[in-house]
Amino acid sequence: MVEASQEVYASLHRRFKGDLLRPGESGYQEARVIWNAMVARTPGLIARCSDVSDVQNAVRAASEIGILTAIRCGGHSLAGFSTCDGGMVIDLSRMRQVTVDTEARRARIAGGCLLGSIDTATQKVGLVFPSGVVSHTGASGLILGGGTGWLTRRFGLSCDNVEGFTLVTADSSVVLANAKENPDLFWALRGGGGNFGVVTEFEVKLHPLNSVVLAEGLSPEADIRLLLECWRDFMAEAPLDLKWNIDLRLAPHAEKVPTGLRGRPVASSSLVWTGEPDAGRRYLERALSMCSPDSVSRKTVSFLNLQTMADSDFPHGRRYYTKSGYFTYLDDTTIDRLVETVAAIPSSETQIELAYLGGAAAQIAAHETAFGDRSAPFIMNLLANWSGASADAGNISWIRELFNKLRPAMKPGVYVNFMSGDEQDRVPEAYQERWDRMVAAKTHYDPHNFFRLNQNVPPRKLVT
């Protein structure tokens, strides 16, 4: 593999405009590291592309030589797919341009953008692109897998707001995918992850929004059951403007947390209202009065503040492991299990994240995009977060055991972006009735599975 990376280097270095980094060279060490410290790999070559022709050259050289190749935008793959040992990483971090057309409410987003770069550019003119909740996440991986966040109920998933993709496919050609050109690929890219090529540009719809009403509350252990029951029933009737996420965790030792709750099991609620603010304040009061969490704060926050408020909860360089699933309904037994579990959380940073989908995302029919289940409203993400390799086994087995306990009540399906690296057997479950169509698109656009470091859809075996 090391020899192969030298061969790729030799083939590329004269025509490559970006940076080619090999082990031991200046800048390599920083470029090697991805967000999840559980995945520490040593690629033989990092090709940091400066434009589309660099991407084409890198893909061509890698496929001719047959080297394992990872694609990296923000490096936030929970599964660690954006790196590899010995092979090549195509790194898009120099391609971060965002061009906004204010009048048309459209933007062109380059394939290496982080969410924060998009928010900054679009907010200059009071527009938003619906994406995720942590601004240092890469946009490409997030959008290609689907993309959920504070605005999903109001404006749909990130991928629902993409009108066109430009990508470099496995044969190194530049291909457009939109409603008119290569519609099969356009369908597959909206949820299909990195299976089909390196996306160098997304053409997306934007929406007007500057600020939201935010209410946050903490419910002590004894009230978690009541909160979850109330949330479950309340969200079934809630308007598109309300997104209400709940994190079950040990309360942080932070100033804003009442002393008596610090380090104790809590449910942390965040309610975001994206519509008319006065109506929102009234509506949030109603929601809060039914579930009466302690220590409630209410404020209007700018969209940029909203998008960065969770950034420090998920820093680079910690160790993370996740499992995820959907529920049609959060039954009382599941609630009981969740309540029992919070007290036993092994790390103070670990969270059980609960979100309710529905809204605009659920108004799009299942067959319209490759994205997994839009109908199961409850999404649960078990996210272990710790430091120190000696705690790996304990944290991972805690997540696995909890997942196995909860699984019987889940409905089949999973969001590919919240899967870990050991769940390849669940990929068909993510796509369900869309699987054959995914395999057909993969077989057409990447018949030799060049793009395989992802939640992989293998191509059909070609008859030679």
Task: Give the footprint of ligand FAD on this chain (CB under 6 A).
Answer: 35, 71-78, 81-82, 92, 111, 132-134, 137-138, 140-142, 144-149, 193-194, 198-199, 314, 417, 453-454
Shortest approach of ligand FAD to residue 119 CB, angstroms? 13
Helix (H, G, I), strand (E, B) or coil at 305: helix
Distance CA 25, CA 160 (A): 41
Question: Strand 211-220 vs strand 265-273: parallel, antiparallel, or unpaired?
Answer: antiparallel
Q: Is 414 helix (H, G, I), strand (E, B) or coil?
A: coil
Q: How far is the CB of 178 from ligand FAD (least distance, A)?
A: 16
How far from the centroid of its chain's Cα atoms is residue 50's Cα? Answer: 24
Of 228, 442, 259, 434, the C-alpha closest to 336 is 228
> Alpha-carbon distance 249 to 270, whole Å?
14
Record the tokens describing residue 456, joined without a space.
């992989």
- Dist CA 316 CA 35 (whole Å): 5
Distance between CA atoms of residues 222 and 342, nearest Å? 11
In whole angstroms, how close is the CB of 343 to ligand FAD at the nearest point? 25
Nearer to ligand FAD, 43 or 138 (CB): 138
Strand partners, 62: none
When the beta carbons of 223 and 349 are compared against ligand FAD, the nearer one is 349
- The β-bridge relationship of strands 45-48 and 88-91 is parallel
Contact by Cβ (8 Å): 30, 74:
no
- Please report, as a single letter, which amino acid is at residue 81: F
**Measured from the CB of residue 13, what is the shortest distance to ligand FAD in angstroms?**
23
- The least CB distance from residue 399 to ligand FAD, in Å, is 15
Closer of 18 and 75 to ligand FAD (Cβ): 75
Instruction: Give me the least distance between CB of 220 and ligand FAD, in Å please.
Output: 26
* Rounded-to-integer distance, Cα 225 and Cα 408, Å: 20
Nearer to ligand FAD, 201 or 241 (CB): 201
392 in helix, strand or coil? helix
Residue nearer to ligand FAD on the CB measure, 132 or 265: 132
Q: Which of 91, 92, 87 is nearest to 44 (CA)?
A: 87
Beta carbon of residue 230, minimum distance to ligand FAD (angstroms, whole number): 24
Of the pair 115, 335, the CB lying nearest ligand FAD is at 115
- Closer CB to ligand FAD, residue 151 or residue 406? 151
